[in-house]
């Protein structure tokens, strides 16, 4: 009899553990449509350690307004914050309605910290007025941040991993852009990027082609300990502040043609600066 009771108790305990595990798994999962509902109710989005299913498109979360001409805009006024979340679908801030493009304006902070993006990420043409961070996030497919404007004093992409192409072309960062300790396994495109303050690229690694041509950096630029394992093109870039290349590794000769420097510091003789332009500050 005692043996039977022990077995019953053991089965009961196992069933309880199973039920708790199922409940926790259910609480951890959330559909992208639930996040859209939070935005529609005017609530800040603050989620941690969630697995998010379905595509999340911020441009379609609210009714867009006409900006003028043939462009519409979705304005999100409350903060958006994700920490340790996994996005199974695509994440976007861009859409099209009846042939009219829709872009997204984030009125305050936009944070994706330590997140895992399994689908494509597209924030093209977005405008962010608060703090912007993708710190320690992993982009499994293409990540596009073309023509974005970030008004905050700090924009953080440090410690990110991009498995596919990562592009931030013709974008404007009003403060400092931190891309330190990042890993780009495919193409990196920062062509025509404008950073008003500092660009921090220390200890980052580019395995594919890196296009940094026509960049405009207003403050200091740090490439210390960075690695470029394929072509690196800085054609006609302009650096208005100090530039550092300490222990920077180029597997192929970088293109510094018509690059404008004001001050450059390096401990390497491995690359040719003869076609660059040095402007002495008065």
Paired tokens of 5: 């009771």
Nearest 10 degrees: Cα torsion 228, 158, 148, 45: 150
Higher pLDDT, 273 or 32: 32
185 membership: H or E segment, kind and range: none
- pLDDT for 6-26, tens place per residue? 555 555 544 444 433 333 445
Least confident of 2-11, 40-49, 155-164, 267-276: 2-11
- pLDDT (0 to 100) of residue 266: 93
- pLDDT (0 to 100) of residue 230: 98
For 228, the 3-state DSSP assignment is strand
133 pLDDT higher than 80: yes
By DSSP bridging, strand 71-76 and strand 65-68 are: antiparallel
- pLDDT (0 to 100) of residue 64: 95
- pLDDT for 202-216, tens place per residue? 999 999 999 999 999
Higher pLDDT, 25 or 218: 218
- pLDDT for 52-100, tens place per residue? 999 999 999 999 998 777 889 999 999 999 999 999 999 999 999 888 9
- pLDDT (0 to 100) of residue 2: 57
- pLDDT (0 to 100) of residue 27: 75
pTM above 0.85, yes or no: yes
Alpha carbons 73 and 108: distance in angstroms, whole number:
15
116 pLDDT higher than 50: yes
Mean per-residue pLDDT for 137-148?
98
- pLDDT (0 to 100) of residue 205: 98
- pLDDT (0 to 100) of residue 281: 61
- pLDDT (0 to 100) of residue 68: 72
259 pLDDT higher than 90: yes
- pLDDT for 225-237, tens place per residue? 999 999 999 999 9
Q: Which residues of 158-183 are buried (b: 16+ CB within 10 A; e: fewer)?
A: bbbbbbbbbbbbbbbbbbbbbbbbbb
Helix, strand and coil in the chain, % to nearest 5:
15, 40, 45
């Amino acid at each position: 009899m005692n043996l039977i009771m022990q077995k019953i108790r053991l089965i009961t305990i196992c069933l309880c553990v199973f039920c708790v595990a199922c409940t926790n798994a259910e609480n951890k999962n959330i559909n992208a449509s639930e996040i859209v509902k939070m935005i529609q109710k005017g609530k800040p989005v603050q989620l941690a350690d969630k697995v998010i299913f379905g595509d999340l498109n911020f441009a379609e979360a609210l009714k867009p307004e006409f900006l003028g001409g043939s462009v519409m805009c979705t304005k999100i006024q409350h903060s958006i914050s994700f920490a340790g979340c996994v996005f199974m679908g695509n994440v976007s801030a861009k859409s099209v309605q009846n042939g009219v493009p829709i872009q997204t304006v984030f009125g305050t902070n936009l944070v994706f910290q330590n997140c895992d993006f399994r689908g494509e990420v597209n924030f093209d043409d977005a405008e962010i007025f608060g703090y912007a961070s993708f710190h320690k996030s992993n982009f499994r497919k293409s990540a596009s941040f073309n023509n974005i404007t970030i008004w905050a004093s700090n924009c953080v992409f440090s410690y990110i991993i991009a498995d596919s192409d990562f592009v931030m072309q013709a974008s404007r960062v009003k403060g400092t852009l931190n891309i330190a300790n990042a890993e780009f396994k495919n193409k990196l495109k920062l062509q025509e990027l404008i950073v008003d303050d500092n660009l921090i690229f220390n200890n980052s690694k580019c395995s594919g082609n890196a296009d940094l041509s026509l960049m405009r950096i207003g403050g200091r630029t740090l490439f210390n300990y960075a690695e470029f394992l394929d072509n690196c093109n800085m054609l006609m870039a302009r650096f208005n502040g100090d530039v550092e290349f300490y222990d920077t590794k180029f597997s192929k000769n970088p293109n510094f043609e018509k690059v404008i420097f004001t001050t450059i510091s390096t401990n390497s003789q491995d690359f040719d600066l003869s076609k660059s332009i040095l402007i002495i500050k008065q």
